[in-house]
Structures are given as structure tokens and as C-alpha cells.
Amino acid sequence: MEKVDVLVIGAGPAGAAAALAAKKAGAKSVLMIERNSSGGGILNQCIHNGFGLQLFGAELTGPEYAQRYADMLKAEDISLLCNTTVLEIGKDKTVLYQNTDGLFRMAAGAVVVATGCRERPRGAIRIPGTRPAGIYSAGTAQRLMNIEGYLPGREVVILGSGDIGLIMARRLTLEGAKVLAVCELMPYSSGLQRNIVQCLEDFNIPLYFNTTVTQIHGRERVEGVTVSQVDATLKPVSGTERFIPCDTLLLSVGLIPENELLDNLQLERDNTTGGAVVNERMETTREGIFACGNCLHVHDLADYASLEAQIAGENAAYFALKGASDQPQIAFRAGYGVTALVPQRVTASALTQGISVMLRVKTPFSHAHIEIKDGEKLLKTVRAQRLTPGEMVRFTLKADHAETLLAEVIPDA
């Protein structure tokens, strides 16, 4: 069986960054496996700008961001196998994959999983009604428009104010479709503030909070949706129903990390992120298997996925070359107001050097900050520009010693 030092599954913003970092950290052979026909992942269909500010100091479109990585990967002579699907990761770090040449097994010194995420479908939120054509997840509509050149609908209602939904509201409008409403179940958006301004407000597209779609109409093609207001428990309020005639319903109702490849590895999972439990090296609880990007936890910016993946790639290379490092001793828990955080495990020795932490808050907080504590002892105070579920909070945590770690939201005095 052939063997590579580091095998990276997925060539999107995370996979590419991981592969590059692994090579730079000394891995002699790095192989990337990508199921689509080219690298770049979802960046290829993200033709809007806003990428690269953190990483390249330039405002790029998705394809431009992907091209920067493609050029760097080429310069480093990193192999990329496209149109290839990984079927299984063995506990011994052999990877089973297939493409039009056949079925193959490849051994790896370390594996980095960077398989991204998928969109939550209609069925998962159980919207009542018929099942006509014209119901798309926002990303599917984006692919149809930006890659295939097709207009999926002319009169559109969007459910969910996630970033892809917001971006698509603008995109559809620019192509001549009418976006009649963006409905958001929560009293706040899960998208970036800049997208609400640039994609909705600039185009006079109405955004209705505390509102959801309660019925889909139309037998063959969508003919309309009923929207209703919801109460504090998110239940539709009777009497608030409003019928909106439309031919398309776009869903932007959440992203689900895609981790089916981890199922047979029996590693620890985090129900709050939907990804694996990792330490500060982005290593899962199965030695030598690393995870990063949106399959680990859903990021707000591609740049952050790439930055996180650099850590994974670098450490995957070290693992492949030098073997196992110290095992983590400290559990990092999400406390009041914090939905989830990464890493969930921390090695004491790494803490003294400083570790990178990312977290999301449960609801928007005004006049609050985040505290990292070891029991009663305050280790760090983090102040973010905005504390809202749509935007990740990133910071470096450094401490000489800790027994436990807890992150929680603290209202300002």
C-alpha cells in the first residue's frame, strides 16, 4: 500500500490551508483528496467579495481566494486528487477512496479531515405543506446561479437570515428576481452584520424577525408560502398568518458539519458544534486524526477556517514525523451564554505557550464580555466588537497553569 505523511480530505479553504501548513512544517508527502472537480470547495460558488481580509489583507472574491491557495499548493508541489470520494477512514489511518480509476487504499502518517458542512434541509425543520419544485437550500441556488448560470426562481421568499441566505437575496435581486421577504425565526440574525447592511438594506429587501414559514403551497411548483409570527417559545402565533405568493422558497436555516466519515472511528464528538472534540492541535481523540474548518464547527469567515486549518496541518505533519505529543489534561467547557467552543481539550504544556480559541455566544449580548476562568481564578477577559451568535469570537489564551477551563459571558458592571 502506498503511504503519504499527511492525507487531507477536502480541498476547500480549510483543507488547502492544512495541506500547505503540513508541507511547510516538514511533511515530505502531502496528498489532498477532493470530491468535486477542482479544489476550492464552496469558495468556487461564492463570487461575492469579503474573503481574504484577515489572511491576505486584501478583499477577494471566493474564487480569487481559492486561486491564491491553488497557486501556493502548486508551488509547494502538493498533490490534489479531484473527482475522488473518500469512503472510509480506518482506525489505522488508512483511507479508502474511489474515483473513475477504481477503488484504492492509501496509508497515511496523519489524516486531516476538512470535509466542510451541508445545509439543513426542509425536512429537518418540518415545514408543513406540499412538496413542489422550487424549494432550494440557499447554497444549491447559489451553485445553480453562479456555476451553472441558471435562475432558480423569479419571486422568492427566503427563510433564515444565515449568511448564504443574505448573500443570495442580493444575488437574486441583481439577476432580476424579486426577493419578497427574508424571514427569521429568531429576534436576531445569525448572519454577519455587514451582510445585513450590504445585501438587504442596500436593496430594500424586508427582513422580518420572529417570523417563520408555516405552510408551503403549490403542487407542481411553489405557488406561495404562508408566513406567521412566532412567540417567545418560537411557536407560530395563530391569527398572524400571511400568504405571500411566490415561486421559490430558499432555505438558509443552518449548517451541519459533515462528519459521517468519523462515524466508524469511535472518537469523541461534541453535540454543540456537531464536530469532533479536539485539542489545541486540532487533533481528535483518535491519535493522528485531525479535524478543521466547517466540519469541526461552522465558521463565520473562510479566513478563520483557513487559520484554524493551519494549526491542524502543522500538527498533523509533526505527528507524522515525530509521533504522538502530550495528551491533553484540561477540559475546556462552555459556560453561561456560550454555545460552543474549540478546542474542547487543552494540553497543560501548550497553555503556557498560548492556544487559539474560537467560540460563539448563544444570543446577542450588549454590554457584556467573556471571561475565561480556572475555578474562581480569572485567566483572561475578552472584549469583542459585537457579541452575537452570527460572529465568532477568537482569541489567544495563555496561562502558566490551569486545572479546569471555563468560558462564560459576563454582563458589564
Partner 1 sequence: MIYDVVILGAGVVGGMAAYQLSQYKLTLAVVEAKAEAGMGASCANSGIVHAGYDAEEGTKKAKLNVQGNAMMSDLCKTLDVPFRRNGSMVVAFNEDEMAVLLKLLARGKANSVPDLTMLTPEQVHQKEPYLNKVCGALYAPSAGIVSPFELAIAAVETAQLNGTDVFFNTTVRSLTEQEDYVLVDCGEKQLKARFVLNCTGVWSDTLAGDETFVIHPRKGEYLLLDKKCSGLVQHTIFPTPSAAGKGVLIVPTVHGNILLGPTADDTEDRKDTGTTAAGMESILIKCQKYISDLSTKNVITSFAGLRASSTSKDFIIKFAPNSRRRINAAGIESPGLTASPAIALLLEKMLADAGVVLEKKHNFQQRPRVVKPAEMSFDEKNEWIKQNPAYGRIVCRCEQISEGEILDAIARGAVTVDGIKRRVRAGMGRCQGSFCLPTVLKMLAEEGKIDCTEVTKCGGGSVYIKGTNR
Q: How far is CA 264 from the centre of its chain?
A: 22
Q: Which residues contact 221 (CB under 8 A, 6 or more apart)?
A: 132, 133, 134, 247
Write the single-letter amino acid at 282: M
Write the single-letter amino acid at 101: D
Which of residues 153, 162, 288, 389 is near partner 1 by CB under 8 A? 153
* Burial (CB count within 10 angstroms: exposed 0-12, middle 13-18, buried 19+), residue 297: buried
> Is residue 102 near partner 1 by the rule CB under 8 A?
yes
Rounded to whole angstroms, how far apart are CA atoms 324 and 250?
46
Which of residues 49, 61, 67, 83 is near partner 1 by CB under 8 A? 83
Contacts with partner 1, 193-222, as mask; x by CB under 8 A = ---------------------xxx--xxx-
> Is residue 239 near partner 1 by the rule CB under 8 A?
no
C-alpha triplet 346, 351, 352: angle, nearest 5°: 160
Place of cell 496541518: 313
Residue number with CB closer to partner 1 (134 or 337): 134
Q: Which of residues 262-321 bind partner 1 (CB under 8 A)?
A: 263
Kindly state the smallest distance separating residue 236's Cβ from partner 1, in Å: 8
Residue number with CB closer to partner 1 (131 or 401): 131
> Is residue 90 near partner 1 by the rule CB under 8 A?
no
> Is residue 257 near partner 1 by the rule CB under 8 A?
no
**Tell me, what DSSP letter sits at residue 203?**
G
* Burial (CB count within 10 angstroms: exposed 0-12, middle 13-18, buried 19+), residue 9: buried
Q: Which of residues 26-65 bind partner 1 (CB under 8 A)?
A: 35
> Is residue 247 near partner 1 by the rule CB under 8 A?
yes
Kindly state the smallest distance separating residue 46's Cβ from partner 1, in Å: 15
> Is residue 140 near partner 1 by the rule CB under 8 A?
yes
Task: Report CA Rg, the chain.
Answer: 22
Rounded to whole angstroms, how far apart are CA atoms 192 and 274?
21
Q: Which residues form the interface with partner 1 (CB under 8 A)?
A: 35, 83, 85, 87, 98-103, 118-119, 121-124, 126, 128-134, 136-137, 139-140, 143-145, 147-154, 175-176, 214-216, 219-221, 236, 247-248, 263
